Each structure stands twice: as C-alpha cells, then as structure tokens.
Amino acid sequence: MAPKLKRFTARQIIKVITSAGFSLSRQSGSHMIFYNNKGVRITVPNHASKILHPKIVKNILRDAEIDEENL
C-alpha cells in the first residue's frame, strides 16, 4: 500500500513549484497558471488557505516531475 501523501495548501504547492523553476504566467479567476522554461504548464487552484485534494497535488507533482518522497 502506498504511503499517504502529505496535505498541502495552494501556497505550499506554489513554493514547491516555483523552487522547481516554474513562474507565474497568468491568473484566471482563482486558478494560477505556471510555466517553466520547457513550456510545461501547471494550473494551481488558489482557494485561500484550503487544503488541496491529494489527487490534485499528485497531478501537479507529476506534471512538474517532482518526486513525492523529496517533499
């Protein structure tokens, strides 16, 4: 059985992906769109300080090519 993924807020995920080389391109409502120099796009739902659903966090980390163990 896979270990549980740590819970993250949007602010925490934004810190992780910006340290991985992503920068904010634009914002559409409550969704922030980030790009890196390879052109990979990541959308982060920014709903105040609510905890993001683990599936959303997992998808963001997969798209950013960040290992869950390194968090």
Q: Is the overall model pTM greater than 0.95, yes or no?
A: no
pLDDT given at position 61: 94
Q: How many structural domains compose the chain? A: 1
> Could you tell me how far CA 50 lies from the centroid of its own chain?
14
Residue numbers of the domain that contains 22: 10-70
Q: To which residue do tokens 């968090």 refer? A: 71
Query: How far is the CA of 67 from the CAs of 10, 20, 24, 30, 62, in angstroms?
Result: 18, 11, 21, 26, 8
pLDDT, tens digit only, all 71 positions of the chain:
667 788 999 999 999 999 999 999 999 999 999 999 999 999 999 987 899 999 999 999 999 999 887 77
In a domain, 5, yes or no: no
| CATH (domain of 55) | 3.30.920.30
Q: In a 3-state reduction of DSSP, which class is residue 23?
A: strand
18-33: pLDDT as tens digits = 999 999 999 999 999 9
Structure tokens belonging to residue 28: 């559409």
pLDDT given at position 1: 61
| Contact in structure between 37 and 13 (CB atoms under 8 Å) | no
